Amino acid sequence: MTEIVSYARNVDEATQLVEVANVDAIICGEERFGLRSIGNICFEEILKINHFLKRRSKKLYVLVNAIFHDERLEEVTNYVEKLSDLSVDGIICGDPSIFTILQEKNIQIPIHWNPETLATNHETLKFWQDIGVTRAVLSNELSLDEIIDINQSLAIPIEVQVHGMTCIFQSKRKLVRNYYQKIDDDWNPEKIRYVKQTKSDQTHYPIFEDRNGTHIMSTEDICMLRYLPQLLDNRINCLRIYNIFKTINYNVQVSRVYKEAIKSYSDDPNQFHQLIGGWEQQILSIQPSKRKLGTGFYFKEQIY
């Protein structure tokens, strides 16, 4: 069965994503353990969301995908034990330290393996499958053909991002704050910032800092709505929507459109093709003007 999984920043958003958009699963997390959650969710909120989702037979995946340094290893061990006690449906991880923690503590919990840029071929993902992960979250810099090949080689499901911006850079350094220091200007951590290649007018790369370092995001928002049939026909079933720096309304409406489109395609492919224009219009009507929509690397060739 196809799954639409969306990020939530709080209980309210999780509720709306389920009740209005009817998504199948929610991702959320806390900055100390997870990367680029759209809101820094404390454990009490996770409890509430988990409780709510269980009643609705929806799934909860929690972000534990930070690159850990020694100081956080104990905290993360406790955190994972607590999540296991909650029986969340999965934790999203990208640092291999997690496997030694699970083994030592004898914790059984589904692992969604998300090493960001490092999940790029079928043999690598078979390696992680053999280690015991239950889902492979693929890198965003892959073509549709590569994704299809990987999917066919694996026994575990793969997850790909179908909507929103993607992370294209992570540094441990405080690269925004450092710049303000350098130019002797006041740095307000609350502000949303972006960088542009000096001579190019069209780009818009959001950049932000948190306790995991500095993150730069893609200039376009992926929108694979029109190409859902190609994903679904190839049984690529876990589809992620990631709307950081967007309103709750945007996130809920986009998620709703994807869910409707998937249902429509499985009910009647002809109907999907009649309705796709309208759905795209709905997304365009709420799309921020600075953010172009695109198809990421799905149909792009890379050189090296």
Question: In the complex, which residues of this chain contact another protein (CB under 8 A)?
Answer: 67-70, 73, 95-101, 116-118, 120-124, 126-128, 140-142, 146, 149-150, 168-176, 178-183, 185, 191-198, 206-207, 213, 216, 218-219, 290, 297, 300-304
Is the Cβ of residue 15 or residue 140 nearer to another protein in the bound state?
A: 140
As measured in angstroms, the least distance from the Cβ of 51 to another protein is: 31
Rounded to 10 degrees, what is the CA torsion of 275, 277, 283, 289? Answer: -170
Amino acid at residue number 50: N
First to last CA, the chain: 37
Is the Cβ of residue 55 or residue 182 nearer to another protein in the bound state?
A: 182
Distance CA 42, CA 25 (A): 19
As measured in angstroms, the least distance from the Cβ of 297 to another protein is: 7
As measured in angstroms, the least distance from the Cβ of 110 to another protein is: 18
Residue carrying structure tokens 């921020």: 288
Distance CA 124, CA 292 (A): 32
Is the Cβ of residue 273 or residue 300 nearer to another protein in the bound state?
A: 300
As measured in angstroms, the least distance from the Cβ of 88 to another protein is: 21
3-state secondary structure of 94: coil
As measured in angstroms, the least distance from the Cβ of 23 to another protein is: 27
3-state secondary structure of 169: strand
Is the Cβ of residue 68 or residue 258 nearer to another protein in the bound state?
A: 68
Is the Cβ of residue 21 or residue 165 nearer to another protein in the bound state?
A: 165
As measured in angstroms, the least distance from the Cβ of 282 to another protein is: 22
How many other CB atoms are found less than 10 A from the CB of residue 194?
16
Is the Cβ of residue 96 or residue 278 nearer to another protein in the bound state?
A: 96
Amino acid at residue number 11: V
The bridge status of strand 167-171 relative to strand 135-137 is unpaired
Question: How many residues are there in the chain?
Answer: 304
As measured in angstroms, the least distance from the Cβ of 175 to another protein is: 5
As measured in angstroms, the least distance from the Cβ of 157 to another protein is: 18
Is the Cβ of residue 6 or residue 140 nearer to another protein in the bound state?
A: 140
Cα dihedral sign for 263, 266, 271, 272? Answer: positive
Round the CA-based radius of gyration of the chain to a whole number and report it: 19
Cβ atoms 121, 115 nearer than 8 A: no
Distances in whole angstroms, Cα of residue 25 to Cα of each of 78, 155, 176, 197? 24, 21, 33, 36
Helix axes 122-131, 144-153, angle to 10 degrees: 40
Residue carrying structure tokens 């009740």: 19
Is the Cβ of residue 44 or residue 71 nearer to another protein in the bound state?
A: 71
